[in-house]
């Protein structure tokens, strides 16, 4: 029996929107302040998945410069009708305190690979918008309604309004069709029409450890909606022993072979309740009861790690190489930048062929113009390596290898300049916004043009290495607890995950550049595997 292994989209890939078009399957996930916007993964069998494309690639589609941490693009909805792909998304401009500024947009394309259109503005009444295509050709937008007033339920229900294709805007009355259940925090709505009923699937309980998928149904689009008597249909909230925690925010499809599957958000803590990889996406196989309610097959209401695959021939994809030599004129699909797309004023793959050249801009605290290129950490056990050429002239110029959650939390092995040591290597950490330097004294690498930097990650532990001679690696700094690089590493709720990459800062404003020769990202299945590889390496020494 062929099994699906969860999570199917490891690392920061939350809020899945599940879509089938013919025999192709797509999942769109949130990207928040990271560019390009919205990850779309593709599968032919629900077992094997690949990152296919990003539909939001231009600042005319979304401009996130200045957006706060965990703002930006929330909970996209990908749908298809009449030969057109529709993508609905929210650009969250503020989210702290009583108010949330949440602007909802639509873009379309005739091909999943684009080109994708300029956005149509929809509304700003709440977040998690979703588009439902009814049998009669009408189209309906649903989203959660935000109520800022004191003493009110801020998650004030699910509202619906018609979208006019002819007029390219929302038309007609706004109706509140569902106020939620006792689980509260009702969001993430999706509508389906099955067995003569309209089914409203929502996320409830909050996107942390009380998260859940709720279901309600009605013979009428506008309700009233009857709540599933066994609600919620999926949760891990009362089962701390489960590998997949935070189960919620579901999206449903029927395969071309007539089988039903639910994609949902989940999290896997590395210790206690810290999820360094962020919120991920898993799949559960479903069935319908005789009285037409949806059930998780074999799991009661709990998420399973191993799930029976559909009766579809396997379709694997070629693996992504571990090493990026920067030989293309464009960044590979796994790379991301903060809030804005890269442009030639600060990033180039052509000025020095075979190298990624980054020009230093603002600091790691900036919500505007950081020169940072990073990829998701997608395994508990991994190592990354790069080699950089950088000649700083002042302590305000830095470049190196960074593990980055947001402006509050990161760990950075950086090259800089010290008045006494000259060119030097040190470790910066920000934990909950508190700046620290983890070496008592920076290490001088004056006179060495090139320096290799490495990070080895084992769940919540990080060890940095460096090399200024081809055959010798040296440990630098202590083993670092990186559990704070997680949603849970802050007093305020946040929603992304750990990124690993390269960055350059020039706080003096001269835009000093650094050249990165390559970047290696390798994953291992467990601590024993990564320890074995490290044990085989020669020339590793303590500094």
Residues serving a catalytic function are: 15, 187
Instruction: Evaluate whether 304 touches 6 at the Cβ level (below 8 Å).
Output: yes
> Are 78 and 40 within 8 A, CB to CB?
yes
How many CB atoms lie under 10 A from the CB of residue 80? Answer: 16
| C-alpha to C-alpha distance for 471 and 491, rounded to whole angstroms | 43
Contact 73, 30 (CB under 8 A): yes
345 and 360 in contact (C-beta within 8 Å)?
A: no
Burial class (CB in 10 A: 0-12, 13-18, 19+), 366: middle
Q: In whole angstroms, what is the distance from residue 262 CA to residue 285 CA? A: 6
Q: Which two tokens stand for residue 53?
A: 């494309």
- 499-536 b/e (C-beta count within 10 Å ≥ 16 → b): bbbbbbbbeeeeebbbbbbbbebebbeeeeebeeebee
Long-range CB contacts (< 8 A, 24+ apart) of 79-84?
A: 79/17, 79/19, 79/130, 79/131, 79/132, 79/133, 80/19, 80/21, 81/133, 81/139, 82/137, 83/110, 84/108, 84/109, 84/110
Task: At 462, list the tokens.
Answer: 């990080």
Residue 381 to residue 304: CA distance in whole angstroms: 22
Q: What is the DSSP letter of 98?
A: S
Nearby residues of 515 by Cβ (< 8 Å), 6 or more positions away = 352, 355, 356, 357, 388, 389, 390
Secondary structure letter of residue 330 according to DSSP: S
Token pair in block for residue 65: 């410069």
Query: What is d(CA 117, CA 110) in angstroms, rounded to the nearest whole number?
Result: 10
Residue closest to 522 by CA, chosen among 367, 324, 349: 324
Residue 18 contacts residue 263 (beta carbons within 8 Å): yes
Structure tokens at 525: 């299945």
- Token readout for 48 is 């094997």
Please give the structure tokens belonging to residue 383. Answer: 């190592």
Element containing residue 284 per DSSP (H, E): strand 279-288
User: Residue 252 CB: number of other CB atoms within 10 A?
Assistant: 19
């Amino acid at each position: 029996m062929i099994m699906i292994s969860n999570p199917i989209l490891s690392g920061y890939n939350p809020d899945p929107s599940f879509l089938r078009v013919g025999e192709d399957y797509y999942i769109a996930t949130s990207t928040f302040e990271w560019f390009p916007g919205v990850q779309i993964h593709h599968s032919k069998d629900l077992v094997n998945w690949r990152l296919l494309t990003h539909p939001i690639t231009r600042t005319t589609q979304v401009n996130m410069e200045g957006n706060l941490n965990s703002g930006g693009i929330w909970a996209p909805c990908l749908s298809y009708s009449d030969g057109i792909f529709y993508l609905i998304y929210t650009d969250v401009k503020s989210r702290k305190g009583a108010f949330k500024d949440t602007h909802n947009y639509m873009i379309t394309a005739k091909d999943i690979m684009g080109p994708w259109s300029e956005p149509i503005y929809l509304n700003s009444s709440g977040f998690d918008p979703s588009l439902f295509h009814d049998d009669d050709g009408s189209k309906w937008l649903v989203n959660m309604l935000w109520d800022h007033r004191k003493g009110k339920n801020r998650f004030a229900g699910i509202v619906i309004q018609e979208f006019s294709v002819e007029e390219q805007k929302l038309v007609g009355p706004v109706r509140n069709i569902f106020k939620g259940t006792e689980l509260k925090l009702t969001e993430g709505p999706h509508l389906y029409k099955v067995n003569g009923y309209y089914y409203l699937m929502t996320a409830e309980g909050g996107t942390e450890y009380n998260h859940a998928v709720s279901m309600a149904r009605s013979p009428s689009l506008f309700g009233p909606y009857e709540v599933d008597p066994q609600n919620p249909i999926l949760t891990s909230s009362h089962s701390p022993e489960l590998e997949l925690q935070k189960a919620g925010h579901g999206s449903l499809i029927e395969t071309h072979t007539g089988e039903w599957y639910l994609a949902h958000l989940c999290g896997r803590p590395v210790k206690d309740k810290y999820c360094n990889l962020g919120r991920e996406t898993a799949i559960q196989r479903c069935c319908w009861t005789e009285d037409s309610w949806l059930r998780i097959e074999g799991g009661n209401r709990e998420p399973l790690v191993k799930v029976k695959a559909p009766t579809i021939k396997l379709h694997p994809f070629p693996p992504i190489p571990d090493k990026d030599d920067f030989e293309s004129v464009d960044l590979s699909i796994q790379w991301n930048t903060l809030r804005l797309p890269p442009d030639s004023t600060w990033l180039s793959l052509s000025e020095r062929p075979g190298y990624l050249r980054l020009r230093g801009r603002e600091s790691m605290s900036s919500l505007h113009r950081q020169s940072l290129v990073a990829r998701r950490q997608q395994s508990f056990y991994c190592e990354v390596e790069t080699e950089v050429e950088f000649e700083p002239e002042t302590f305000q110029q830095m470049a190196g290898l960074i593990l980055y959650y947001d402006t509050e939390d990161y760990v950075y092995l950086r090259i800089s300049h010290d008045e006494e040591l000259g060119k030097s290597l040190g470790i910066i950490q920000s934990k909950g916004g508190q700046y620290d330097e983890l070496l008592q004294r920076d290490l001088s690498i004056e006179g060495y043009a090139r320096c290799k930097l490495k990070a080895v990650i084992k769940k919540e532990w990080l060890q940095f290495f460096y090399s200024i001679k081809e055959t010798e690696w040296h440990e630098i700094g202590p083993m670092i607890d990186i559990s704070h690089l997680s949603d849970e590493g802050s007093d305020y709720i946040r929603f992304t995950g750990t990124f690993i990459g390269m960055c350059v800062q020039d706080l003096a404003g001269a835009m000093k550049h650094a050249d990165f020769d390559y970047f290696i990202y390798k994953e291992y299945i467990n601590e024993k595997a990564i320890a074995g590889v490290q044990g085989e390496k020669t020339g590793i020494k303590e500094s």
